[in-house]
Homo-oligomer: A and B are copies of this chain.
Amino acid sequence: MTTPLRLGIAGLGTVGVGVVRIVQTHRALLAARCGRPVEITAVSARSRGRNRGVDISGYAWEDDPVALARRDDVDLVVELMGGEDGPALALTRAAIDAGKDIVTANKALLAIHGQEIAEAAESAGVALRFEAAVAGGIPVIKALTEGLAGNAITRVMGVMNGTCNYILTRMEDAGLPYDTVFDEAAQLGYLEADPTLDVGGIDAAHKLTLLAAIAFGTRPVFDAVDIEGIERISIDDIRHAADLGLRIKLLGVARMTGRGLEQSMSPCLVPADSPLGQLKGGTNMVVLEGDSVGQIVLRGAGAGEGPTASAVMGDVADIARGLRIPAFGQAAAGLATVTPARATAAKPFYLRMTLLDRPGALARIAAALGDAGVSIDRMRQYSHEGTDAPVIIVTHKTTRDAIDHALGLFGGTGVLVGDPVALAIESV
């Protein structure tokens, strides 16, 4: 095993440059740990001339990533281009056809095409690894697939989009409204070109899809995730949550029940003093629960050059060391078809609404809740100016279906101003 492992890197953005930097600076360390040298032989990116702060002159250049995958001097293709279709998909297919192992950071590609790609990789006998696709530098795919292999996984949860967590914590810390902080995040370059991927919860849902497939041995089905973004979270929600000893997080939850696989990515309230509640800024946290291990909590940087490149290099080292396991932890052809299920676990909900300030308004809302079988734990009406009254209700444990039923009944009361916000309160 002293034959070098030769990497071809497609994509030289932040993460690609980070990978080049690690390979160049940790040559001896990698050789000692992998039992063989790890080298870069070829790279591909959009612009050859761009100054990236690393020297790539010693590597062959390919304008076409597909050509990179077909090179005889490339053993392993590192796909860091991103995008759920187009060049990344073409490159991945080409690498599999050429019998090259693949390491990717592309959550969208795998959440959408993961089943097809994993089956093709296994048929071709190539390794496919994607630690960097979920929760940046946290080795969570490894923990779930390998470390907890002896467990029936009971629940997976996580805060896995650093941008959303930055926005929510910044709103609370600075007392600023959503729009202002959103603009700040855009100016800081924290948002994807299509910001809906971040604030709409889609990026985080891609990641949850991959974790759920591994955890429950099911096919990755992105469309089966109930997704709600953070766009409707107001500074008032943040403040009310704080009053209740809670914090709002864009939280992914995946659970297997008798009815099927529940997967949701939505803003939830968690205790302010819980590990999830204390998560600040771009940090990610994943909670894994298994029947033997109990609860494991993993925390670390969810993005950025170093952490993401670290995850890529963990996968590269595994392949260099000869580890070859199926992408989702078991043979892709044997993954179960998902029956998507709505969350049935009873939990308390937080409701925020604005009522017309007229006699009996609150009574009508309370009656609608009662008709839907939802009972009230706490209610606060906040002092206000003008004719509209902000009201917060915390329910006793109930189901999402019952809450949706109540929200439907609210429409008939004639006392609501605008749409109410309903967020689950998760015990973590």
Contacts and interface: CB of A to CB of B under 8 A. Distances in A.
Interface stretch (A43-51, A319-327, A362-370): A319-327
Contacts of A35: 325-326, 330-331
Contacts of A273: 278
Interface stretch (A159-167, A285-293, A376-384): A285-293
A334 B29 CA distance: 12
Interface in A109-139: 131, 137-139
A297 B135 CA distance: 13
Contacts of A321: 146, 323-325
Nearest to A321: B325
Contacts of A148: 139, 310, 314
Contacts of A29: 152, 217
Contacts of A131: 147
A195 interface: no
Interface stretch (A249-257, A300-308, A400-408): A300-308
Nearest to A334: B32
A86 interface: no
Q: How many copies make up the complex?
A: 2
A142 interface: yes
A329 B33 CA distance: 6
A317 B150 contact: yes
Nearest to A313: B150
Nearest to A323: B323
Contacts of A278: 273, 275, 278
Interface string A263-302: 0000000000101001000000000001111111111110
A409 interface: no
A74 interface: no
Given A35-B331, A142-B143, A146-B139, A306 B323 contact: no
A22 interface: yes
A149 interface: yes
A413 to B, nearest CB: 43
Contacts of A151: 26, 310, 313
A329 B321 CA distance: 10
A220 interface: no
Contact of A138 (B34, B296, B331, B334): B296
Interface of A: 18, 22, 26, 29-30, 32-35, 131, 137-139, 142-143, 146-152, 217, 273, 275, 278, 290-301, 304, 306-307, 309-314, 316-318, 321-326, 329-331, 334
Given A18-B292, A149-B317, A293-B311, 7 more contacts: A32-B334, A33-B149, A139-B142, A275-B299, A278-B278, A293-B301, A294-B304
